């Protein structure tokens, strides 16, 4: 059995976040979605769960939800098929209320290319292409 990865993001507006992730190429799985959350599928092994703050809080006991616009808690990195696909992902995020920037890793683009992409709530994704 392959391992599946479910990344849970706290979001302030489930509908807005769902629309944002759909524009990035994720598909909403209605079976695991509701008023408090959306289950967004990238592929068979990588899903992002968008949870409103009340629902997310149930999973973190007495911890506070980080303000991801000012504090980083995690970078979720995943592979893409090309540098151009990574660029398109970043541009699509920016056109739909998110943002992106590039960190110079000192590697040529034909070897490795990645972007730091933020959703409207400041949650971070790191789409990356590597020439393996």
Is residue 8 within a helix (H) or strand (E), and if so which, with residue range?
A: strand 5-11
Tokens read off for 113: 């290319």
Whether residues 95 and 130 fall in one domain: yes
Give the mean pLDDT of 69-78.
Answer: 90
Question: In Å, how far are 48, 76, 123 from 79, measured between CA atoms?
Answer: 15, 10, 17
| Domain count along the chain | 2
Whether residues 48 and 83 fall in one domain: no
Residue 106 covered by a domain: yes
Domain CATH number, residue 55 = 3.10.180.10
Is pLDDT of 69 > 70? yes
The torsion region of residue 97 among left (phi > 0), alpha (psi -120 to 50) and beta comes to left
Is pLDDT of 12 > 70? yes
Q: Supply the range of the domain harboring residue 130.
A: 73-132
**Among residues of the chain, what percentage have pLDDT more than 90?**
87
Q: What is the pLDDT of residues 74-105, one digit of tens each?
A: 899 999 999 999 999 999 999 999 999 999 88
Whether residues 92 and 51 fall in one domain: no
Question: In Å, how far are 57, 89, 92, 116, 130 from 109, measured between CA atoms?
Answer: 40, 16, 20, 15, 9
Residue 114 covered by a domain: yes
Evaluate whether 24 touches 93 at the Cβ level (below 8 Å). yes
Is pLDDT of 1 > 80? no
Residue 65 covered by a domain: no
Mean pLDDT over all residues of the chain?
Answer: 95
pTM: 0.90
What's the CA gap between 79 and 21, in Å, rounded?
Answer: 16
């Amino acid at each position: 059995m392959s391992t599946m990865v479910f990344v849970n993001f706290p979001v302030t507006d489930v509908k807005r976040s769902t629309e944002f992730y759909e524009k990035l190429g994720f598909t909403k799985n209605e079976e695991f979605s509701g008023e408090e959350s959306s289950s967004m599928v990238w592929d068979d092994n990588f899903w992002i769960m968008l949870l409103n703050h009340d629902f997310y809080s149930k999973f973190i006991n007495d911890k506070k939800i980080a303000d991801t616009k000012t504090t980083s808690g995690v970078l979720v990195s995943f592979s893409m098929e090309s540098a151009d696909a990574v660029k398109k992902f970043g541009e699509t995020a920016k056109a739909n209320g998110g943002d992106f920037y590039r960190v110079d890793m000192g590697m040529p683009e034909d070897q490795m290319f990645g972007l730091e992409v933020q959703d409207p709530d400041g949650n971070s994704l790191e789409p990356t292409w590597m020439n393996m």
